[in-house]
Amino acid sequence: MKFTLGSNGYGKAECRLVRVERDSARHVLTDLNVSTRLSGDLAATHLTGDNSGVLPTDSQKNTVYAFAREFGIGAIETFGIALASHFVGENEQIHRARVTIDAYSWDRVGDHSFAKTSGEVRTAVATVTEDGAWITGGLRGLTLMNTTDSEFHGFPRDRFTTLRETSERILATDVAARWRFGTLDVDWGPAYAAIRESLISAFVETYSLSLQQTLYAMGARVLEKVPEVAEVRLALPNKHHFLVDLTPFGMDNPDEVYFAADRPYGLIEGTVLRDDAPAEGWAWSS
């Protein structure tokens, strides 16, 4: 019986990195979670235990911290590309490096004081190979709600259907979005701000007959406003709010009192992409 080693890789997961810029009395705080993954000519370590081509994961962790000190961080997309390019460029046995970064937000409450009040996370994945590089950005934990202008009706019914049709409901979701850029020539900070604003404004302005309709409107708005983006992928859990029956207490409930259910929930997923998006789905450097 014969066996073959399939695709493989290794890296250092979840390197917690906090950097404080102290160039002035008004400090700048960056809070990241960085993971690395390397792949390439690594068969020997799997088949014979020969580690001569294995850059230790501890070295990868140290590189993350050293780069943060020597070069700073700046945009997380730029930081990810720099790290991934280093791993491929300095290790001939490594043909592909992927750096995944989560950036946590802190609200400034003073020149050197911060409060963590939001669960929203900005993300970036930088991938570098011997032939090129690409970036996917994203966010998660963006919670949105419309208290009206949402309906859901006209769906098929079978013998297990109990859901009532409605022309008035709360629509709420926790946005998890990923997008891929068609170029590396991007002003990352303003692009992220424009993408986030596009997601929010489309959610707010869409009179929704289904969460699917809202999803498409959100993705299309990003592509309309940010031409560097080639594709948007969205996962929108439907955070159900059910009207409470108060008739046992002799009370009416004119769409005012709801029960917020955390599970189970509908999960709506979809991709919106440009007609001329590259077939490979990645943005390659020249």
The one-digit pLDDT tens for each residue of the chain (286 residues) are 899 999 999 999 999 999 999 999 999 999 999 999 999 999 999 999 999 999 999 999 999 999 999 999 999 999 999 999 999 999 999 999 999 999 999 999 999 999 998 899 999 999 999 999 999 999 999 999 999 999 999 999 999 999 999 999 999 999 999 999 999 999 999 999 999 999 999 999 999 999 999 999 999 999 999 999 999 999 999 999 999 999 999 999 999 999 999 999 999 999 999 998 765 544 433 3
What's the CA gap between 135 and 219, in Å, rounded? 18
In the sheet that holds 133-146, the strands lie side by side as 15-21, 28-40, 94-104, 121-129, 133-146, 171-181, 229-238, 266-273
What's the CA gap between 189 and 275, in Å, rounded? 26
78 is an active site residue: no
Same fold yes or no, 9-131 and 139-286? yes
Q: Please name the amino acid found at residue 102.
A: D
Catalytic option among 78, 127, 136, 240:
240
CB proximity list for 251: less than 8 A, separation 6 or greater: none
**What pLDDT does 284 receive?**
38
CA dist 156 → 171, 211, 223, 238 (Å): 21, 16, 32, 19
Catalytic option among 27, 45, 57, 183:
57
Helix residue ranges per DSSP H, the chain: 43-47, 57-70, 76-90, 188-205, 211-225
Enter the pTM of the model. 0.93
**What pLDDT does 285 receive?**
38
- According to CATH, the topology of domain 9-131 is Urate Oxidase (3.10.270)
User: Partners of 204 in the beta sheet?
Assistant: none
**What pLDDT does 95 receive?**
98
**What pLDDT does 176 receive?**
98
247 is an active site residue: no
User: Which residue ranges make up each domain of the chain?
Assistant: 9-131, 139-286
What architecture (CATH level 2) is domain 139-286?
A: Roll (3.10)
**What pLDDT does 283 receive?**
43
240 is an active site residue: yes
**What pLDDT does 286 receive?**
31
